[in-house]
Structure 1
Amino acid sequence: MSNIKLIIEERPSNIGNFMVGRLLPFREKRMVGPFSFIDHMGPICLSDHENLDVPPHPHIGLSTLTYLFEGSIMHKDSLGTEVEIKPGQVNWMTAGSGIVHSERTPSYLRDSDKMLHGLQIWVALPAALEKMAPEFYHAGEEDIPSWEENGIAFKLIAGEAFGRKSPVPVYSPLYFLELKTTSRQTVTIGADLFGESALYILEGAIESEGYTYEPKQILVAKDTKLCEFVMQENTTIYIFGGEPFPEERIIYWNFVASTRERIEEAKTMWLEQSFARVPGETDFVPLPEQGKNIKN
């Protein structure tokens, strides 16, 4: 019997002036472990008059993870952080009780052609930490645990696995791994995983129990202990998951919470503009129409 419980296909979604491929949440699988949201950005070529411009917007109850393959994003937030995100770096912002940030093409790239390609991910916080003070952490590519084994290059972007630990400050048991290979390789890693687990194919293909799976798909496992598959040559995948929470998570717009009351409180705060502001920025993303949620 196949160990694949569910296949989730990328669905197009408009985030303003930019189209992305939405992977999570999905109507049949809202979360994988604590992972509640995944967008695949690009790859897209932006011309000299096109730029990424996501004005200040709020988050609560989660950590955001931005991981780029190509391009650059300037991150600014209400803590006063101002940092350029480049490929291979990890941008980890923990919203907790509330944070506001903007994401834009850096000024030195705005008048030239450029590429943008990466993943944007939300990781829900445990209920007891939903109102923790907001934090920000940025890891350089050299800070991320990397190693090679049996012809496969591994990176532990966040969490713990294979006896290693990423420096990214996570708040529940989880893992987010990159695996790359230029040659055909068999992968057996079930004993190193825990909780719920899923695999995202960025490029190339994998084979499992007689089936071939290609890019823009998430494969959700039935049992992490049976995680074995073949990576074809020139394949890159991401394996992510962890311990699920006992409580359901509600997602409204950019807010994640374990209670509807917390969501309503955040909506009121944003309508009243009582969140802390991003220094130097005056525009903002308005609250969506009442009842609008993240589209499946």
Structure 2
Amino acid sequence: MSIETKETESECSVNQGCDAIELIIQPRAKDLGGFSVRRTLPTKERKMVGPWIFFDHMGPANFPAGSGINVRPHPHINLATVTYLFEGEILHRDSLGSYATITPGDINLMVAGRGITHSERERPEVKGVDHTLHGLQLWLALPEKDEEIDPAFYHYPSASIPAATIEGVPLRVLMGSAYGLTSPVLTYAETLYVEAHLQAGQTLALPNSEERAIYVAKGSLKIKDSIIPEFAMVILSAADGVVIEAAEESRIALIGGEKMAKRYIEWNFISSRKERIEQAKQDWRAGNFPTVVGDEEEFIPYPDK
């Protein structure tokens, strides 16, 4: 997805928790015209969790025939986008010539590197009927040594993502290694991304990571005496032996990884260098980014506000 304004930080309620909890972030839903997005990263209180610098929860949105997701071509630099759907599908095109449909359980990894342009739309046969879209889109900051690598696109079908049942809890390791599983999805720094589905009363011990957080996509959790409500992100300390309990049927995303150096972010650009973002802004305004193959007619202008 593209950010609609230059301002990237979301407005959230932030609370302190127990000793295992650093922050509880509750995002405000933003209406983007036909569907809502909840953004938990970045916020003024917390910019990143490991290499993760952006976290959007899209929908669930129910579209009537003739409408749907229609994100025009826009640019990125020095990051990688990770798209994961619960329901529906998105058609990805980019300036490399990639053409891929992401469906529930798949992972789309788009590495912007020195610069890429992409669009996110829907196939005509999807848009022509009533349909639903629901999922998560995240951005990863690339390590400084990899910020200017060649752009690339990788599609990992659902069947390639490792899954297990741990103490009765079904989970999938989308990126990184946890619970004895290792994902095939390419990483550039130590990265953790796990999805789990808990029934009421079930518990799950969390893997250790230098930085980590849990987003509650559905339901609510207990961590010691703290309740983590639906659509909230809890930033966890590095304490050992943290166990979560589902207060009701819950679907969660666990993210984390190694601590990264400061990143600057403006609109769809992130970098370790302010001057690189300024250059990207000038390049986009001047039309110096490559166009999306098969989607050359439109683009999103750099926002004035």
Q: TM-score, normalised by structure 1?
A: 0.93
The answer to whether the aligner puts 1:44 opposite 2:58 as a matched pair is no
SS of 1:8's equivalent? strand
The partner residue of 2:222 within 170, 193, 207 is 207
Q: What's the Cα RMSD here?
A: 1.4
1:253 aligns with 2:267: yes
Map of 1:108 onto structure 2: 125
Aligned: 1:75 with 2:92: yes
Matched residue count: 287
Q: List alignment gaps of at least 5 residues for structure 1.
A: none
Confirm or deny that 1:121 pairs with 2:135. Answer: no
Is 1:177 paired with 2:194? Answer: yes
SS at 1:31 equivalent: coil
1:232 aligns with 2:254: no
Asked if the contact 1:160/1:173 (under 8 Å) is kept, the reply is no
Summarize the alignment of residues 1-296 of structure 1 with structure 2, pairs less than 5 Å apart.
1-15=18-32, 18-189=35-206, 192-245=207-260, 247-281=261-295, 282-289=297-304, 292=305
8 A contact 1:206–1:230 mirrored in 2: yes
Q: Percent identity over the alignment?
A: 39
Show structure 2 runs of 5+ residues with no match.
Answer: 1-17
Q: Report the Cα distance in structure 2 between the residues aligned to 1:139 and 1:285, rounded to whole angstroms.
A: 28
Amino acid at match of 2:279: E
Q: Work out whether residues 34 and 61 of structure 2, in 8 Å CA contact, stay in contact via their aligned partners in 1.
A: no
- What are the Cα deviations for residues 181-219 of structure 1, in whole angstroms up to 9, with x where unaligned? 235212222xx3211110011112211222322211000
TM-score, length of structure 2 as denominator length: 0.90
User: Deviation of residue 2 (structure 1)?
Assistant: 3.0
Cα distance in 2, alignment partners of residues 51 and 128 from structure 1: 38
- Whether the aligned pair in 2 keeps the contact of 1:65 and 1:121 (CA below 8 Å) is yes
Give the secondary-structure state (helix, strand or coil) at the position aligned to 1:108: helix
Q: Is the 8 A contact 2:24 2:228 kept in 1?
A: no
Give the deviation of 1:49 after TM superposition: 2.6
Alpha-carbon distance in 1 for matches of 2:33, 2:200: 39
More moved, 83-92 vs 220-229: 220-229
Instruction: Map Cα deviations across residues 64-123 of structure 1 (whole Å, 9 max, x no partner).
Output: 011000111100001100011101110110100001000012111112110010001001
How big is each residue's C-alpha offset from its partner over 1:148-185, in whole Å with a ceiling of 9 and x where there is no partner? 11110110011222332211111000100011123521
Letter of the structure 1 residue corresponding to residue 185 of structure 2: V
